[in-house]
Structure 1
Amino acid sequence: MDDLKRLALFAEVVRAGSLSAAGRHMGISTSAVSQQLRALEQAHGVTLLHRSTRKIALTEAGARLAEHCQALVDAAARARQQLTLARDAPEGELRLSAPVGFARHVAPALAPLLAEHPGLRLSLLVDDAMIDLIDARIDLALRAGRLADSNWAARRLCSFDFVLCAAPAYLARAGVPQAPGDLPAHQWVGGGRDGTPLAVELNGPAGERAPLRIEPRVMGNNQLSLQQLCAAGLGVMMAVRADIDDDLRAGRLVPVLPGWRGPRIPVWAVTPQRDGQPAKVRHALEAIRRYLLTVPGAVD
């Protein structure tokens, strides 16, 4: 490593035309420049230049070496430029993971970024399963809810409101709940498995809390499928406001107990490291966060 530094110093001496000018540019004294050049010559047993503080004269060996040393300095400058690009300009492949229900937000969030930076490529892995992010070489993963302990860095992007909803046909048939205490008597669509009751806590308009235990009629681990089953009239559902916005606007679902809502669910960006993230990750993370805050039911 010392040899590389001395070779770079030799190139600067040749470029600057004197030891003193090279020293001023490198931020070291003229005597330190002279000592480093002498060490380089002694290490290789060759005289590179005849020198004084004001003037240098390259030997034949020094002239041949100077060309290669300058090439070395130029290559180092190009390497630093690549590091700057990686830090400042999003490019290369971005490997992003998202749950199925959340993937609908990826396109509107990242399309402007991809359009602006043609050197950026997106590889999107959509899966509700908790995949191994290291094995899948994921740069950025979107997660919702409580996170399992890991060595990855997590940043909260926003939170989503949970709301109660049902299809108009179901409510016409089963009746409209008037209070949280009416809900256990209704059919439910939810994420429980193997008949396990769901623990649900509703928050009222005046800060009231209503804990409930619900036994879903329809269960599953895919949010989109559950949402479709709820719209088909199979029961009441606790859903993320952002996920059902289209169904609410179209009238396929309507709010139930609109003054009450479930606890907010945090949305996270999970990355391999907290510091020194490449530009592709930083820009994508900010683009997703900005978009999510425009989604109905999202709060900072």
Structure 2
Amino acid sequence: MTTIELNNLSIKQYLSELNIHPVKDRGYYGMYHSPFRTDNNASLKVDYQKNLWIDFGSNEGGTMIDLVMRLDNCTLKEAINKLECRYANMQTGSNTDNQPESFSFHGNNHLEKVENNQQSGISIQKIVPITNQALLDYLTERKINIDIVMQHCKEVYYSANNKSYFAIGFKNDADGYTLRNKYAKVCTVNDITTHQKSDTNNEACLVFEGFMDYLSYLTMKNIQHSKVDVVVLNSISNLSKAIDFITSHQKIYTYLDNDEAGRNATLQINKYSSTHNCIHIDKSTDYANYKDLNEWHCKTKLKEKEQQVQKQEQIRKPSRGFKR
């Protein structure tokens, strides 16, 4: 789909699919609570006729693509990819109801049925353990322990817009996948991922914005699984789905991004935790000078490597003895 076609997609419908609805609907425009920040005044306007939006509180606005970039904190290329994957069937005119179901071999030599997802326009073709060198190289770039990744992710082959792709797949609570490779981040179904240790243990909960941050945390701790409950939002827009589970714990540790969306989500969690008598610890202060936990992790590993190289060079230097 062209950028013009993508920007012609209904912003009102897109927000509705994300369970974001107008507080006031005047027929030709609607007023929404801004999904980017705490907004009690419904200061985001969507002009249905022009298909444009503006947030009067932050003086931001634009087209459908601009909205996706702002909601998901992604690049222009990633936003286009997300929309193309989500609405691929609108362009191709294909009828997923009549398409054959996809099957793949998985793990223990048994067939795993993979449903085509109509909402995102993505059709998963195959799910296997991660062996693709391009994906392994990408994980190495992100300084993620491969053994840990194998415990939590799969190598997913999928098609969208009549094109084939492969990515690292992280499963969510709706049996969908967040799909990520070096060039794109999409999802078959947008939902949270929760790892609950037990129904009775509500001592602590770790909250991550994306699964790369979660894998970075496990790599830094050198553990394959968290000892306490975990929520991976997979998108800041999913916070409302997770807030009840998050605030059911005595202590909440948040590892969100150091951008406006992440800070607003952190403030919302802090607000809810205070009303539920929870202790909220904002761990983003540990990496305040970095975009997110993974970036901090990568820079830390790079500094460690540089220090090791310097020590090795010092050892190699010949000692200056006394000349006779």
More helix by share: 1
In our comparison, the structure showing a higher alpha carbon Rg is 1
TM-score by shorter chain over 0.5: no
